[in-house]
């Protein structure tokens, strides 16, 4: 059972990239892996070209290592205000069934916004520890996240 508490939110007054839509599928017609087909609990990164803009963590973000910003807690429309959890216990979406409880995690390098086990020499730095082992792809599970650049040491 996924739980969430305590979690520090960024309060950064950021917006979602106009290239992303985190609303549920009954509004957008597009189904994402989060609850109700939304982008809720997706990893996000901050734009390097547009100030205060978050986007779903990409499978090809650029120069490695790349730093995830946090986990989207709401379901905004493109350009809408984002609520990002940056440190603490949060829910995430499994991108694979190979995540084991107690292991390091990071954004997936194969499915945008989802979570995978961390491995050395991948595009994202480690950024949390799984508290549960998801049994299906797309399952909501609980993890501790370190905060921006928290796993870089």
Asked if 131 and 143 count as a contact pair (C-beta separation under 8 A), the reply is yes
Cα atoms in the Cβ-side hemisphere of radius 13 Å centred on 92: 39
pLDDT in tens, 73-83: 999 999 999 99
24: left (phi over 0), alpha (psi -120 to 50) or beta: beta
Residue 152's CB is within 10 A of a number of other CB atoms, namely 11
pLDDT in tens, 34-70: 999 999 999 999 988 899 999 999 877 666 667 889 9
pLDDT in tens, 103-115: 999 998 888 899 9
Q: Among all chains, which residue has been given the structure tokens 């599928």?
A: 25
127: left (phi over 0), alpha (psi -120 to 50) or beta: alpha
% of the chain residues with pLDDT over 70: 90
Domains contained in the chain, CATH given: 7-145 (2.40.300)
pLDDT at 2: 61
Does the pLDDT of residue 1 top 60, yes or no? no
Average confidence (pLDDT) over 6-24: 93
Structure tokens, 143:
């993890």
Q: What is the pTM of this model?
A: 0.91
| Rounded-to-10 torsion of CA 107, 122, 53, 26 | -30
pLDDT at 115: 95
Structure tokens, 111:
């499915």
């Amino acid at each position: 059972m996924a739980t969430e508490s305590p979690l520090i939110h960024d309060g950064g007054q950021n917006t979602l990239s106009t290239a992303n839509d985190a609303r549920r599928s009954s509004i957008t017609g597009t189904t994402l892996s989060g609850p109700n087909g939304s982008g809720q609990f997706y990893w996000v990164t901050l734009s390097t070209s547009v100030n205060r803009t978050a986007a779903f963590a990409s499978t090809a973000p650029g120069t490695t290592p790349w730093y995830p910003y946090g986990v989207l807690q709401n379901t905004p429309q493109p350009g809408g205000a984002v609520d990002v959890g940056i440190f603490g216990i949060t829910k995430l979406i499994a991108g694979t069934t190979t995540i084991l409880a107690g292991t390091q995690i990071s954004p997936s390098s194969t499915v945008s916004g989802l979570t995978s086990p961390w491995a050395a020499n991948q595009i994202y730095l480690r950024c949390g520890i799984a508290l549960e082992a998801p049994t299906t792809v797309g399952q909501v599970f609980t993890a501790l996240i370190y905060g921006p650049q928290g796993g870089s040491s």
